[in-house]
A = this chain, B = another copy of it.
Amino acid sequence: MEIARVLWEIGPATVREVFEQFPSNRDFNFATVQTYLRRIELKGYATSTLKGRVRTYTASAKPRTVIRDAVGDLVDRLFGGESLPLVRHLIEQREIDDKGLAEIRKLIDQMEKRESK
């Protein structure tokens, strides 16, 4: 996931480019990043091509899809499929700052407006 996120963020990239996205506090071995990218491709979340000596990876699955699946899975396991308790948890545990709270309120307004139309 960490690796896939990098691919989404910086777009098509070589192993080295992905590797270099990680700050020193998250120090993977180059070969480890390589393995992850290979596996990501195996699962169909990315494609790659060999240009000369260097393989370049491109994300194929959309973030939205992968995120939906992963979050759905967590929600099933932790909350029996209910999303609301997760949001409640996040807000109550103060994981969201003031600015964030304001943004969420705005989002809710929009969703309600859109829904009633």
Question: Which residues in A have some Cβ–Cβ distance to B below 8 Å?
Answer: 1-2, 5, 64, 67-68, 70-71, 74-75, 77-78, 80, 83-84, 86-96, 98, 100-101, 103-105, 107-108, 111-112, 115
Contact = CB atoms under 8 A, between A and B. Distances in A.
Q: Which 4 A-B pairs have the closest CB atoms?
A: A83-B95, A1-B77, A84-B100, A101-B108
A78 B1 contact: yes
Contacts of A100: 83-84, 87
A95 to B, nearest CB: 4
B108 A91 contact: yes
Q: Report how many copies the assembly holds.
A: 2
Given A67-B89, A101-B108, 13 more contacts: A64-B93, A67-B78, A68-B89, A71-B74, A71-B90, A83-B96, A83-B100, A86-B90, A88-B103, A91-B108, A98-B115, A104-B108, A105-B108
A2 B79 CA distance: 9
A63 B50 CA distance: 48
